[in-house]
């Protein structure tokens, strides 16, 4: 406390106030609250010929912050949500439809897949 006032929790750029060092918790809280984007490109060239390009994009943020900026791919990813039953049903329906079309007389009269080879 300074002159009877409680210590303020408002923080500067990296979480430090008045020359006090920021601890890891303060920095992590700020990064997750505001988000952090790291972007970079790596290129491997040999005699001015581009052999390899790697584009790196890393976003570090809390789920709430990510949703606020429109990043929510994990909500619809069937592998993460455990909702791959819908994909399996759709796959089953498509396979049945393909089998039905292949068994149709028009398909057999046209020669099926053999005409394309």
Higher confidence at residue 107 or residue 58?
58
Section 109-114 average pLDDT? 63
CA 37 to chain centre: 13
The first and second tokens of residue 8, run together, are: 């303020």
Q: pLDDT at position 95, please? A: 95
The half-sphere exposure of 41 on its side-chain side, counting CA atoms within 13 A, is: 6
Higher confidence at residue 51 or residue 18?
51
Chain segment 83-92, per-residue pLDDT in tens: 667 778 889 9
């Amino acid at each position: 406390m300074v002159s009877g006032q409680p210590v303020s929790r408002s923080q500067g750029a990296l979480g430090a106030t008045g020359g006090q060092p920021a601890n890891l918790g303060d920095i992590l809280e700020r990064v997750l609250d505001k988000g952090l984007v790291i972007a970079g490109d790596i290129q491997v060239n040999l005699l001015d010929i581009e052999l390899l390009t790697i584009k790196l994009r890393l976003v570090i943020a809390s789920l709430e912050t990510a949703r606020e900026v429109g990043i929510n791919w994990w909500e619809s990813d069937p592998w993460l949500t455990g909702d791959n039953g819908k994909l399996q049903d759709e796959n089953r329906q498509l396979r049945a439809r393909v089998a039905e079309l292949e068994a149709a007389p028009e398909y057999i009269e046209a020669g099926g897949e053999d005409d394309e080879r």
